Amino acid sequence: MPREVTAPIFERAQQRSVVMRLAGTVPVDLGENSVPTTTQRPEVGVVGEGEAKPVSNTGYAVKVFKPVKLATIVVVSEEFARKNVGGTYTQITDDLAFAIARGADLLTMHGRSPLTGALVEGKQYINQTSNRVVLGSTPQEEGGIAGDLVAGYELVVNDDTTDDFTGFAADLRLKPRLIGATDRLGRPLLQTTTNLADGMDVILGLPAGYARSVSGRIGASVDTGVRAFGGDWNQIRYGFADEMSIRVSTEATVMIDGQLVSLWQHNLVGLLVEATFGWVLGNVDSFAAYEVAGS
């Protein structure tokens, strides 16, 4: 499909990706990519007139990563595509773009492929953090769920290698708990919107995005028990090595249920969506994972 068709679709998908709403971008090439990271920042000192200027130690490292190809094919009947019954065919093209963004979220947060649920070898992801908080572990009189969130905040900011804590990514199932959280007198504990349709929110004054992919339950990937990640989203950089493309064919041969099927012979239309996605994670312990008990 031409760029003027796919670009707006992809923009909408990016708006629904929780990682893409919170993290920053980086240029990505098809091969190996190198991103410089700071391991020790310089410091200044106070000197008098004519005194020797102090020397400050600095440290830099390079993160190397390779992008992955995200792709899938959807097959529909030619008659269905031509009639666009109830706008469903148009919705399919939108869903294909959303699948790319959802897959990118799952890879970045859990390192898994949505189609199989398997870990992608050699990739860093947020859920590798050693900072873990069990939701419900703080008594209500000591802050309840707000205390749990602050406990994760402390784990991150007390680490000397971390500079900031910029926001939260949360599973949709956590939202009603946040909205309904009260102290012992029934007063709301958290700054949250009561509009359940909002994809973005504010928790403890920080931006928060909601998505199913936060828990890991996308496609064949199972629920990990995680209900939120909080931390320094400046540590995440993502990018696409090429523009998302949606290609349409009525003549290709496609494997369906283990059988090679000719689209032309069976009056079928195949839609192939693909994009090359890459991400780099500076420090996994710049994040805290908030999880349910027993996960």
Give the tens place of pLDDT for each residue, 98-131: 888 889 999 999 999 998 999 999 899 999 999 9
Q: H-type helices in the chain, by residue range?
A: 3-16, 18-22, 78-83, 88-110, 144-157, 175-180
pLDDT at position 202 over 60: yes
Q: Which pLDDT value is given to residue 185?
A: 65
Using pLDDT thresholds of 50, 70 and 90, give the confidence band for residue 189.
low
pTM for this entry: 0.82
Is the distance from CB of 40 to CB of 127 less than 8 angstroms?
Answer: no
User: In angstroms, rounded to a whole number, what is the distance separating the alpha carbons of residues 98 and 253?
Assistant: 25
pLDDT at position 273 over 80: yes
Using pLDDT thresholds of 50, 70 and 90, give the confidence band for residue 47.
confident
User: In angstroms, rounded to a whole number, what is the distance separating the alpha carbons of residues 242 and 183?
Assistant: 49
Counting residues of the chain whose pLDDT is more than 70, the rounded percentage is 83
Helix pair angle (3-16, 88-110), 10° resolution: 50
196 phi, psi to nearest 5 deg: -70, -15
User: In angstroms, rounded to a whole number, what is the distance separating the alpha carbons of residues 268 and 255?
Assistant: 13
Q: Which pLDDT value is given to residue 257?
A: 87
Q: Which pLDDT value is given to residue 168?
A: 96
Counting residues of the chain whose pLDDT is more than 90, the rounded percentage is 36
Is the distance from CB of 36 to CB of 282 less than 8 angstroms?
Answer: no
Residue that wins the pLDDT comparison between 25 and 170: 170
pLDDT at position 192 over 70: no
| pLDDT mean across residues, the chain | 84
Q: What is the mean pLDDT of residues 227-256?
A: 89
Is the distance from CB of 247 to CB of 282 less than 8 angstroms?
Answer: no
Q: Which pLDDT value is given to residue 129?
A: 96
User: In angstroms, rounded to a whole number, what is the distance separating the alpha carbons of residues 176 and 174?
Assistant: 6
Instruction: Determine the straight-line distance between the first and last CA of the chain, rounded to whole angstroms.
Output: 43
DSSP state of 215: T
Q: Which pLDDT value is given to residue 130?
A: 95
Is the distance from CB of 35 to CB of 122 less than 8 angstroms?
Answer: no
User: SS3 helix, strand, coil % of the chain, rounded to 5?
Assistant: 30, 30, 40
Using pLDDT thresholds of 50, 70 and 90, give the confidence band for residue 181.
confident
DSSP state of 52: P
| Non-local CB neighbours of 94 within 8 Å, separated by 6+ positions | 9, 12, 13
- Residue 42 sits at the vertex; the CA angle it makes with 36 and 44, to the nearest 5 degrees, is 155
Q: Which pLDDT value is given to residue 87?
A: 66
- Residue 281 sits at the vertex; the CA angle it makes with 98 and 23, to the nearest 5 degrees, is 50
Q: Which pLDDT value is given to residue 285?
A: 93
